């Protein structure tokens, strides 16, 4: 290895309770192997001779490798004292789109670039979102509850056309779902930070105007990251403003919504149904009250992960950026530490 080569540290995480990945299947789907990295690298012949890399796990060789690393590719890692541990570090690429697990970002020095994998999950997330809204429209959360109780009850529904879907978070994940659901004739209101226009939305409002649309929502779809602006956004008051026939989907972060109040409303039939893909602690505990909450479907944080393809798409995004890095050009998917996404 020559001194002028760019050194990359690739950090994989073994699965463990209370963290991601939370099982062996998740670990396999989110780990970078030497064979896969070399396979993707072979498509960039001008890069291979300019880099060296180490693929490692958790804290194995962390400090010794990071002391001269220029780039880090990882999902989770120790941020305390990072500038001293890795004085040469110039760029970190996060395997996920969400980066809230690394906040607060006071560890990010001014000349350190942080990028994420935003966008690669859009197609899968859009299809999952469409499925979720259609499940709620067709009362599948109630039908599943009835099945568990051995109740054979006729529950009829109508097409989704003209139903009002409020989508909070209209980026790549929410935006992909909007395209699907609007094509079926649903009336979509988008809610985002700046009120910018979104394809498929009949109107778009800013976060601070959300109270005007919640009472008319047939469905509330949450696809926002955890930031200071979004924490607690869908609180008790806003949940109470929803119609009892409203259905809720959350593929963003638990911190955005008051889950305990939602659970109580589901139990009292004050919300039609809910599909929750994200929890602050994953997997949720076996004694959690959510397991037995009626009209609730729990999915294990899989709304936007593609089986066997996720890490390949991450590497394609990373290597595209690596070429830009070598060419001293601006990287794509840069994260603003002040905004948290």
**How confident is the model over 221-247, as pLDDT tens digits?**
999 999 999 999 999 999 999 999 999
Residues 341 and 226: their CA atoms lie apart, in Å, by 8
How confident is residue 14, by pLDDT bands cut at 50, 70 and 90?
very high
334: pLDDT strictly greater than 90: yes
| Chain segment 186-205, per-residue pLDDT in tens | 999 999 999 999 999 999 99
For residues 22, 28, 32, 34, the Cα torsion angle rounded to the nearest 10 degrees is: 140
Res. 1: pLDDT tops 50:
no
pLDDT band at residue 26 using 50, 70 and 90 as cut-offs:
confident
Tell me the percentage of the chain whose pLDDT exceeds 70.
99
Q: Please indicate whether residue 306 or residue 95 has the higher confidence score (pLDDT).
A: 95
3-state secondary structure of 273: strand
How far is Cα 108 from Cα 89, in angstroms, rounded to an integer?
11
Residue with tokens 């469409």: 130
Phi, psi of 187 (to 5 degrees): -95, 110
Contact status, residue 118 vs residue 194, Cβ threshold 8 Å: no
In this prediction, residues 109-129 reach a mean pLDDT of 94
Mean pLDDT score, 21-27: 86
Buried b (16+ CB within 10 A) or exposed e, 292-303: ebbbbbbebbeb
Residue whose structure tokens are 């499925």: 131
pLDDT at residue 23 in the model? 85
Strands 6-12 and 247-250: unpaired
Question: Widest CA span of the chain, in angstroms?
Answer: 71
pLDDT band at 214 (very low <50, low <70, confident <90, very high): very high
pLDDT score of 340: 82
Q: Residue 333 — very low, low, confident or very high, per pLDDT cuts 50/70/90?
A: very high
Closest-CA residue to 37 (of 337, 314, 325, 340): 314
Q: Which residues contact 112 (CB under 8 A, 6 or more apart)?
A: 89, 90, 91, 92
Task: Tell which residue, 71, 107, 46, 100, has the closest CA to residue 318.
Answer: 71
Cβ-based neighbours of 184, under 8 Å, separated by 6 or more: 159, 160, 161
**Mean pLDDT, range 194-217, rounded to an integer:** 97
Positive or negative torsion for Cα 84, 88, 91, 93: negative
Determine the pLDDT at residue 2.
Answer: 46
Cα–Cα nearest to 24, from 40, 9, 37, 13: 13
Residue 207, pLDDT score: 97
Give me the residue label for tokens 């889950």. Answer: 259
Q: Cβ(125)–Cβ(176) under 8 Å?
A: yes
What's the alpha-carbon Rg for the chain, to the nearest Å? 22
Q: Are 332 and 120 in contact (CB under 8 A)?
A: no
pLDDT of residue 3: 53
- Reference 129, options 186, 83, 72, 74; nearest CA is 186
- What confidence tier does 13 reach under pLDDT thresholds 50, 70, 90? very high
**Burial bucket for residue 313 (CB in 10 Å: 0-12, 13-18, 19+):** middle
8 Å CB contact between 290 and 284: yes
Domains of the chain by range and CATH? 6-120+306-326 (3.40.50.720), 122-298 (3.40.50.720)
- CA-CA distances (angstroms) from residue 66 to 69, 88, 323? 5, 8, 21
For the cut 60, the answer to whether the pLDDT of residue 288 exceeds it is yes
Phi-psi region of 169 (alpha: psi -120 to 50; beta: other; left: phi over 0): left
Ramachandran angles phi, psi of 24, nearest 5°? -65, -35
């Amino acid at each position: 290895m020559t001194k002028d080569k760019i050194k990359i540290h690739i950090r994989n995480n073994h699965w463990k309770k209370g963290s991601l990945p939370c099982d062996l299947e998740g670990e396999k789907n989110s780990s970078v192997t030497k064979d896969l990295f070399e396979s993707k690298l072979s498509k960039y012949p001008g890069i291979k001779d300019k880099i060296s890399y180490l693929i490692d796990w958790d804290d194995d060789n962390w400090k010794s490798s990071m002391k001269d690393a220029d780039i880090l590719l990882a999902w989770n890692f120790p941020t305390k004292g990072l500038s001293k541990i890795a004085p040469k570090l110039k760029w970190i690429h996060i395997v996920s789109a969400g980066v809230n697990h690394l906040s607060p970002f006071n560890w990010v020095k001014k000349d350190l670039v942080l990028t994420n994998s935003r966008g690669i999950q859009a197609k899968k997330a859009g299809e999952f979102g469409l499925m979720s809204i259609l499940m709620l429209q067709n009362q599948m959360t109630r039908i599943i509850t009835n099945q568990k109780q051995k109740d054979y009850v006729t529950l009829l529904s109508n097409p989704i056309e003209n139903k009002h879907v409020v989508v909070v978070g209209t980026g790549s994940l929410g935006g992909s779902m909007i395209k699907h659901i609007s094509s079926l004739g649903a009336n979509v209101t988008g809610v985002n930070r700046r009120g910018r226009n979104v394809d498929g939305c009949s109107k778009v409002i800013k976060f601070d105007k959300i109270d005007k649309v919640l009472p008319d929502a047939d469905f509330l779809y949450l696809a926002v990251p955890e930031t200071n602006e979004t924490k607690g956004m869908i609180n008790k008051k806003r949940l109470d403003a929803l119609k009892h026939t409203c259905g809720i989907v959350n593929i963003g972060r638990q911190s955005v919504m008051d889950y305990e109040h939602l659970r109580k409303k589901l139990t009292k039939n004050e919300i039609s149904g809910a599909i929750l893909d994200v929890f602050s602690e994953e997997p949720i505990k076996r004694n959690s009250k959510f397991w037995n909450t009626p009209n609730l479907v729990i999915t294990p944080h899989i709304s936007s992960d593609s089986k066997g393809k996720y890490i390949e798409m991450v590497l394609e995004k990373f290597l595209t950026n690596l070429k830009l890095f070598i060419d001293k050009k601006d990287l794509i998917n840069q994260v603003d530490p002040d905004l948290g996404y």
